[in-house]
Amino acid sequence: MKDQDVGSNEKYGIDDNINSQTDGTQSLEQSEKVHNVISITRADIGDLENVISTIVSPSGKEVKVTGDVDEAMRLALESREIKITEQEDRKLVWKIDLYMFPLMCILYAIQFMDKVSNGSAAVMGLRDDLKMKGNQYSWVGSAFYFGYLFFNLGPGQLIFQKSRWLAKTLAVFVVLWGMILALHAAPTINYASFIFLRVLLGCAESMVTPTFTIITSQYWRKEEHFMRVCLWFGFNGLGGIWANSLAYGLYIRQASYSIEAWRVLFVVTGLITVFVGFAIFFHLPDDPSKAWFLSEREKLMVVERIRGNQQGFGNHHIKWYQVKEAFTDVRTWLFFAFSIGSNIPNGGLTNFMNILIKNDFGYSTKESLLMTMPTGAVELVACPLIGFLSVWCAKKKIPFLQDRLIWGIFAAVLSVVATCMLAFAKESKNARLAGAYLLYVAPVSFICVLSIISSNTLGYTKKWTVSSINLVSYAASNLAGPQTFIAKQAPGYNGAKIAMLVCYAGCVVTLSALYVLNIYENKKRDRIQAERGPSDTIIENLEFADLTDKENPNFRYAL
Which residues make Cβ contacts (< 8 Å) with residue 377, sequence separation at least 6? 237, 241
d(CA 3, CA 50): 10
37 membership: H or E segment, kind and range: strand 36-38
pLDDT at 184 over 50: yes
Segments in 308-428 forming alpha helices (H): 320-328, 330-359, 365-371, 373-395, 404-424
**pLDDT over 90 at 543, yes or no:** no
Residue 530 is assigned to a structural domain of this protein: no
Average pLDDT rounded to a whole number, residues 391-418: 91
What pLDDT digit, counting tens, does each position of 205-224 carry? 888 888 898 899 889 988 88
pLDDT band at 28 (very low <50, low <70, confident <90, very high): very low
Band (pLDDT 50/70/90 cuts) for residue 168 is: very high
Cα gap 359→266, rounded to integer Å: 23
More confident residue, 428 or 192: 192
Q: Are residues 106 and 74 in the same domain?
A: no
Q: What is the pTM of this model?
A: 0.82
Do 66 and 140 fall into the same domain? Answer: no
Least confident of 35-44, 335-344, 433-442, 474-483: 35-44
97 part of a folded domain: yes
Looking at the structure, tell me whether residues 171 and 41 fall in a common domain.
no
11 pLDDT higher than 60: no
Asked whether residue 335 falls in the same domain as residue 368, the answer is yes
- Name which of 157-161, 282-286, 297-301 the model is least confident about: 157-161
- Reported as a pLDDT band with limits 50, 70 and 90, residue 18 is very low
Residue with the bigger pLDDT between 21 and 202: it is: 202
What are the b/e assignments for 3-12, b being 16+ CB within 10 Å?
Answer: eeebeebbbb
Least confident of 53-67, 281-295, 407-421: 53-67
pLDDT band at residue 462 using 50, 70 and 90 as cut-offs:
very high
Q: Going by DSSP bridges, is the β-strand pair 36-38/537-539 parallel, antiparallel, or unpaired?
A: parallel
Are the C-beta atoms of residues 26 and 550 closer than 8 Å to each other?
no
- pLDDT score of 234: 87
Q: What is the pLDDT of residue 22?
A: 40
Answer for the pair 13, 55: CB distance below 8 angstroms, yes or no.
yes
Residue 14 is predicted with a pLDDT of: 35
Q: Is residue 558 part of a domain?
A: no
Residue 327 CB coordination number (10 Å)? 13
Measure the CA–CA gap between 201 and 205, rounded to whole angstroms.
6
pLDDT at res. 39: 67
In this predicted structure, the answer to whether residue 499 has a pLDDT above a threshold of 60 is yes
Are residue 331 and residue 221 in the same domain, yes or no? yes
Do residues 367 and 284 share a domain? yes
Task: Please give the average per-residue pLDDT across 119-134, as a whole number.
Answer: 82
pLDDT attached to residue 538: 75
3-state secondary structure of 102: helix
Do both 244 and 376 map to the same domain?
yes
Residue 159 sits in the same domain as residue 78: no
3: confidence class by pLDDT, cuts 50, 70, 90: very low
So what's the pLDDT on residue 417?
93
Same domain, 77 and 97: no
Q: Is the residue at 556 inside a domain? A: no
In total, how many domains does the chain have?
2
Residue 172 has pLDDT above 90, yes or no: yes
Beta-bridge mates of residue 33 = none
Is the pLDDT at 314 greater than 50? The verdict is: yes
Residues 31 and 178 in one domain: no
Lowest mean pLDDT across 156-170, 208-222, 355-369, 442-456: 355-369
Has residue 175 got a pLDDT over 90? yes
Predicted local confidence at residue 537, as pLDDT: 67
Residue 241 lies in a domain: yes
Distances in whole angstroms, Cα of residue 82 to Cα of each of 85, 93, 317, 516, 518: 10, 17, 30, 38, 33
Tell me: pLDDT of 160 over 70: yes
pLDDT tens for 34-86 read 557 776 767 667 666 677 778 888 888 888 877 777 777 878 777 777 888 88
Higher pLDDT, residue 119 or 399: 399
Residue 504 lies in a domain: yes
Largest CA distance in the chain: 83
CATH of the domain at 438: 1.20.1250.20
Annotate 314-347 with DSSP letters as a single string. ---S--HHHHHHHHH-HHHHHHHHHHHHHHHHHH
* 62-66 and 51-56 strand pairing: antiparallel
Structural domain contains residue 506: yes
**Can you give the length of the chain in residues?**
559
What's the mean pLDDT in 213-237?
A: 89
d(CA 91, CA 97): 10
Q: Can you give the residue range of the structural domain that contains 26?
A: 3-84+535-544
Q: Report the pLDDT averaged over residues 313-327.
A: 88
| Rounded Cα gap, residues 244 and 249, in angstroms | 9
Task: Identify the band that residue 24 occupies on the pLDDT scale cut at 50, 70 and 90.
Answer: very low
Q: Please name the residues in contact with 194: beta carbons below 8 A apart, sequence gap of 6 or more.
A: 130, 140, 184
Nearest to 219 by CA among 328, 330, 299, 126: 299
Mean pLDDT of the 443-452 span? 91
pLDDT of the residue at 506: 94
Residue 43 and residue 157 share a domain: no
Distances (CA, A) of 435 to 177, 428, 442, 456, 543: 33, 11, 12, 33, 46
Instruction: Report the SS3 class of residue 538.
Output: strand
Distance CA 145, CA 152 (A): 10
Co-location of 73 and 95 in the same domain? no
pLDDT number for residue 521 = 94
314 falls within a domain: yes
Q: Tabulate helix, strand, coil % of the chain (nearest 5).
A: 70, 5, 25
> Smallest Cα–Cα separation from 39: which of 53, 60, 50, 25?
53
